[in-house]
Amino acid sequence: MAPDEFPPINDTFSLMAPENHPAKSLLKAALQKANNAVYFDHCQGFEDALREYGEACALLGQVMKVSLGEEDKTTLEAIVRHMFPALNV
């Protein structure tokens, strides 16, 4: 399955923010990067996977800075733990 064939990112991790909140677009981009990384990992494109994982982590770091509150941060930490278990975040 190619990255563009992944199901669209839904509001499972919605940040409970208005649709135009900067954190929402950053989070969607980070999750897409993470999906791409999983795809590259699966295809043994490890260099590409590492790049995508790194970009996803950087975007999630930006989301943490602009997120709304503790509940949002807890949700984002859960995303990071789920998407990047090997990083021991």
Asked if the structure places residue 7 within a domain, the reply is no
For the stretch 17-24, contacts whose Cβ atoms lie closer than 8 Å and that sit 24 or more positions apart, written own/partner, are 17/68, 17/72, 21/66, 21/68, 22/66, 23/63, 23/66, 23/67, 23/68, 23/72
For 49-72, what is each residue's pLDDT tens digit? Answer: 999 999 998 998 888 777 667 777
Residue 19's pLDDT is what?
Answer: 64
To the question of pTM greater than 0.85 for the whole model, the response is no
- Tell me which residue of 12, 11, 14 sits closest to 68, measured CA to CA: 14
How many structural domains comprise the chain?
A: 1
> Where do the DSSP E strands lie in 26-87?
none
Asked if the structure places residue 3 within a domain, the reply is no
Distance CA 27, CA 45 (A): 24
Handedness of CA 42, 48, 50, 56 (dihedral sign): negative
Span 40-48, average pLDDT: 95
Asked if the structure places residue 65 within a domain, the reply is yes
Asked if the structure places residue 28 within a domain, the reply is yes
Span 82-89, average pLDDT: 67
Asked if the structure places residue 17 within a domain, the reply is no
* Domain extent for 38: 22-87
Residue 18's pLDDT is what?
Answer: 59
